[in-house]
Amino acid sequence: MTLQIVKRRSRGFICVNAHPDGCRRNVERWVAGVKGKMSGAENAPKSVLVIGASTGYGLASRIAAAWGYGAKTLGVFFERPPEGDKVATAGHYNTVALHSMAKRDGLFAASINGDAFSDEIKRATAETIRKQMAPIDLVIYSLASPKRTDPRTSKTHSSVLKPVGQAYTNRTIELDSEKVVSVTLEPATDIEVADTVAVMGGDDWRLWMEMLLEEKLLAPGARTLAYSYIGPKITWPIYRDGTIGQAKKDLERAAKDLDAELANQLGGHAWVSVNKAVVTQASAAIPVVPLYLSLLPMVMKKKNLEEGVLEQMRRLFTDFLCTGSAPKLDEARRLRLDDREMRADVQEEVAALWPRITTENLREVSDFAGFQREFRGLFGFEVDGVDYDQPAETDLNW
Ligand code: NAD
């Protein structure tokens, strides 16, 4: 037992610790948000593998499949467990909460903590599936990682968030100082583009699916999804046309090839799902995005259109995956969950507010406070119903 008072500690804007009770509350809220609220149970997946399952879109996908439909879930992720009085990462505590609630509710849940890019973790995953939950009928690929060691070459690739071809200047919030500043990002080198594609592109997704096919662990009609983002033109130089966008285009190429392979072998499918911009540990690290995420939810709330990760995943399952017919795809074969974000009236309002924001009016013109609260909430801080003056048990494992 390690009972201790846990106060938020930050390095600059980033939280370097996490609160177990706050993380538990978050998971409880998400479970309550899907339980008994999902339609299409007769077409729902029964056995789901989520790669990148401890936070953000992956965690929400896992919760939607498990509590929305009673699916067995296996989550793979990379998190730091507690060590003595050193607290764990948020994704570890989220998973502890998920396992204890799954046990209470009689749901099968298994988790593997380690590097999803490695052969070792792929083998361990295959073993768990074979023994406990084969065949898998849905694979969600939701990794967001700054680096990847390719097991075939032992080379470590680091991803960068940079424009491609030419420098890009725009306004952003300097998160440490809370100042609105102009930032110029120099274009990536060809090597940086290739490295980012190696980390966040489709290569590792292909390796996962080839392994699952080879090991005969997939059900007839099995489907797989990887998540992507497109966003408004204002962010394209750094996102869609930047290094990360090149990786996402590679993911789309992988989806096309995997779709053909799965259709041929199992009558299955592979798609990219384009999701809405939300505050996660991964998205907050992208330049310009914090400013966008201080405006977008505010505009969408006013129009009654706002969705968080959970609402997005609810819609993914009920409107696309569990309808009993082929999901609606765009011209590039992608599922589009960003339709509300991309509505012309939403984007026009965001674009009109964008140039008005200054350091002085940041908290009046934008909802920076909401962005900050949401970000701290990811680590279990500033969560309603948690008394941060009380000691919490931090030495928790599933
Ligand atoms: P996140 O940071 O919340 O989650 C990342 C997950 O990946 C965590 O579970 C983490 O443990 C896991 N992970 C990282 N490195 C790993 C490794 N080496 N091995 C095993 N697990 C590892 O990120 P997120 O924002 O939910 O992003 C997930 C996907 O959704 C990404 O592809 C992202 O581009 C996409 N997406 C995000 C947004 C957004 O606004 N956040 C919008 C659209 C699409």
Specify the pLDDT at position 174: 85
- 249 Cβ contact partners less than 8 Å away, ≥ 6 residues apart: none
Answer positive or negative: Cα dihedral of 324, 58, 338, 139.
Answer: negative
Query: 38 and 69 in contact (C-beta within 8 Å)?
Result: yes
> Is residue 140 lining ligand 1, measured as CB closer than 6 Å?
no
pLDDT tens track of the chain, all 398 residues? Answer: 899 999 999 887 789 999 999 999 999 999 999 999 999 999 999 999 999 999 999 999 999 999 999 999 999 999 999 999 999 999 999 999 999 999 999 999 999 999 999 999 999 999 999 999 999 999 999 999 999 999 999 999 999 999 999 999 998 888 888 899 998 999 999 999 999 999 999 999 999 999 999 999 999 999 999 999 999 998 999 999 999 999 999 999 999 999 999 999 999 999 999 999 999 988 888 888 899 999 999 999 999 999 999 999 999 999 999 999 999 999 999 999 999 999 999 999 999 999 999 999 999 999 999 999 999 999 999 999 999 999 999 999 99
Tokens for 317, please give them. 């399952």
How many Å apart are CA 89 and CA 10, to the nearest integer? 13
Nearest atom in ligand 1 to the alpha carbon of residue 278 is 40
How far, in Å, from the CA of 60 to the mean position of ligand 1? 11
How far, in Å, from the CA of 145 to the mean position of ligand 1? 7
Q: What is this structure's pTM? A: 0.98
Output DSSP code: residue 22: H
> Is residue 228 lining ligand 1, measured as CB closer than 6 Å?
yes
> Is residue 77 lining ligand 1, measured as CB closer than 6 Å?
yes
Nearest atom in ligand 1 to the alpha carbon of residue 293 is 40
Query: 246 and 202 in contact (C-beta within 8 Å)?
Result: no
Residue nearest to atom 14 of ligand 1 (CA): 145
Specify the pLDDT at position 24: 98
Answer positive or negative: Cα dihedral of 111, 115, 121, 122.
Answer: positive
Q: Of 237, 223, 230, nearest to 269 (Cα)?
A: 223
Nearest atom in ligand 1 to the alpha carbon of residue 289 is 40
How many Å apart are CA 217 and CA 222, to the nearest integer? 10
Catalytic residues: 239
Domains observed in the chain: 3-393 (3.40.50.720)
Specify the pLDDT at position 346: 98
Mutation choice for ligand 1 from 15, 51, 59, 77, CB with most ligand atoms inside 8 A: 77
